[in-house]
Amino acid sequence: MKKLLCFVICGMLALGCAAAEQEVVLPNSRYVLEVPDWMEYSDPVDGDRGVEAYVSKDLEMDYLSYTKEQAAEKGMKDTLKESVKFLNESGIKAELRKIQGIEVLCYRTEDETDGARCAGYVLMDGDWLIEISFWYANEDAAKEAEEIMKTIRPAEQ
């Protein structure tokens, strides 16, 4: 009986560890995401489009924030609705969705230089736009990006 109980407790601990997540505060916003522990934090490095923050074998998550005034420099407009229209007119399929009650611009694109695929999400918080890009190697990783986005919520005060 003790062995069985020990086995059950160890199994529960293993499952708990497998499902562990890291809370990530999105810059210049009141929102957080839960990123799985299997994605490793990477020291932020300024890149072409933002900060590389979390990586795994098949998925890389970058995020950045910019003001409405800087939106045009980043290929966006100063509202999500205008950005959806602009992206669709530019040939990038984009739409507005509610994720956890938060209005989010969602799009998919490919990098023209190397063909890397991206699932992008943009939300607004006051005068700030927060862009989260998931660069994925396969459709399973793209689905994982969607699951990560489903964890978005306001940070606890």
pLDDT at residue 49, as a whole number: 47
pLDDT at residue 14, as a whole number: 40
pLDDT at residue 93, as a whole number: 94
In whole angstroms, what separates CA 15 from the centre of its chain?
A: 24
Q: Which of the following CATH numbers is that of domain 21-154: 3.40.720.10, 3.30.1360.70, 3.40.1000.10, 2.60.40.1220?
A: 3.40.1000.10
Token pair belonging to 29: 């916003």
- CA pair distance 23, 108, nearest whole angstrom: 24
Q: What are the residue boundaries of the structural domains of the chain, listed by start?
A: 21-154
- Spans in the chain with pLDDT lower than 70: 1-19, 43-52, 157
Token pair belonging to 145: 């990006």
pLDDT at residue 70, as a whole number: 93
pLDDT at residue 37, as a whole number: 95
- CA pair distance 38, 116, nearest whole angstrom: 21
